[in-house]
Amino acid sequence: MKSGIKKHAVTRMQQRAIPSFVVDLLQYCGTAFHSHGAEQIIFDKQARRRLRHYLGGDRGLRALEPWLDVYIVLGDDGEIITAARRRSRIRRR
State the 10-residue block means of pLDDT for the chain, 93 residues long. 78 94 94 88 94 91 92 91 83 61
| Helix extents (H) in 34-80 | 45-55, 58-63
For the chain, what is the total number of helices (H) and then of strands (E)?
A: 4, 4
Structure confidence at residue 93 (pLDDT): 58
For 48-65, letters b (16+ CB in 10 Å) and e give beebbeebeeeeebeebe
pTM of this prediction? 0.85
Structure confidence at residue 91 (pLDDT): 65
